[in-house]
Amino acid sequence: MQLSYILLLVSALTLLASGNSVSATTSANQSNGLMKPSEVDLIAAGQAQEGKQRFLRVHEDEERFEMAKINQLMNDSSYRSTKFGKWVERGYTDSKIYNKLGVESHPAFKRVFNYYQTYLENYAPRLISS
């Protein structure tokens, strides 16, 4: 029976010790003035940014490919062949690439699209849209 009292005493002391350490941490944060900003503060900060461009992407500004990679696709036949091979492995049709490149809004990218169509005619005609 004395063993059960000892176990009860040890568990009670452990519980009290862990409770004190949590409260000490909490009071240390409060004494430093570290507090979470309220939702009102966050909304006010967002409204103070009025007139400035937000960091969220806008669909019109979003670019599907980096210009350096587009230039490399246009000028480097080895890179182009490797990239087109990966596109074929992924099952990208010519219409999917046309849309991804945004050829309608970027007419200069039509050259890459035409290269891809030629590649498909030679290596994967199943991916050519009718």
For residue 16, is pLDDT > 80?
no
Question: In this predicted model, which residue has the larger pLDDT, 89 or 59?
Answer: 89
Task: Provide the residue range defining the domain that includes 92.
Answer: 63-127
Q: Are 69 and 82 in contact (CB under 8 A)?
A: no
Token readout for 39 is 């939702």
Determine, yes or no, domain membership for 111: yes
Determine, yes or no, domain membership for 89: yes
Per-residue pLDDT tens over the stretch 23-69: 555 555 555 555 566 666 666 655 555 556 555 555 554 455 688 88
Q: Are 72 and 79 in contact (CB under 8 A)?
A: yes
The one-letter amino acid at 60: E
For residue 5, is pLDDT > 60?
yes
pTM for this prediction:
0.51
- pLDDT given for residue 61 in this prediction: 47
- pLDDT given for residue 3 in this prediction: 79
Determine, yes or no, domain membership for 98: yes
**Number of domains into which the chain is organized:** 1
Determine, yes or no, domain membership for 117: yes
For residue 74, is pLDDT > 50?
yes
Determine, yes or no, domain membership for 51: no
For residue 98, is pLDDT > 90?
yes
